[in-house]
Structure 1
């Protein structure tokens, strides 16, 4: 009997890669893709562990899951960084270029 590919094994790998690539897009896209990849990887891993002789492609699942974790960590770091910048500069300064220039000069003088 020929082994069949695990369901969604390629999709998990692609979502894991995309979660790393898109983590810099305000963090939210990478976070969502990473969570989806981990959920799909958990389902595929349970299926593989129940009957490992029937399925192939478990390496893709593992690699995608690891990349999804990396993407989630980078996405959370990006979101935290954005929140820190908003707290330091302020929302009003982000919308007004002159006020932003003034805030940045104040931050440079405080160092």
Structure 2
């Protein structure tokens, strides 16, 4: 019998990489994409445990799981830092700083 590939590994890997790239947007996209990827990986891991001899890409699954966990951790840390910064300085100060940065870069609002 020919071995198959686990169905969600590639999608979870793409979501994990996108989550890693999007972690700098206040951490929330990283948390969402990393969480979805981790859910898909866990689902495939359970599928693999039922019939391990039927699937060939378990090493990719393990790599994807590690990336998803790292993305979740980075996203959570960045989100907490952003929330703490807003709590300490206030929303108005954050918006004023953003406005000043945009003006320095020459971006009109």
TM-score normalised to the size of structure 2? 0.81
After the TM superposition, list the runs of 4 or more consecutive aligned residues in structure 1 that deviate by more than 2 angstroms: 94-97
Q: Distance in 2 between matches of 1:36 and 1:62?
A: 15
User: Deviation of residue 75 (structure 1)?
Assistant: 0.5
Tell me the C-alpha RMSD between the 2 structures.
1.5
User: Deviation of residue 96 (structure 1)?
Assistant: 3.4
Q: Point out where structure 2 has 5 or more consecutive residues left out of the alignment.
A: 101-109
Alignment of 1:36-51 (within 5 A): 36-51=36-51
**Which structure has the greater CA radius of gyration?**
1
8 Å CA contact 1:19, 1:71 repeated in 2 = yes
Deviations 1:5-55 (A, max 9, x none): 111111112222222221111111110111111111111011111101111
TM-score normalised to the size of structure 1? 0.80
Instruction: Look up the match of 1:59.
Output: 59
8 Å CA contact 1:15, 1:64 repeated in 2 = no
Q: Point out where structure 1 has 5 or more consecutive residues left out of the alignment.
A: 101-111
Report how many residues are paired: 98
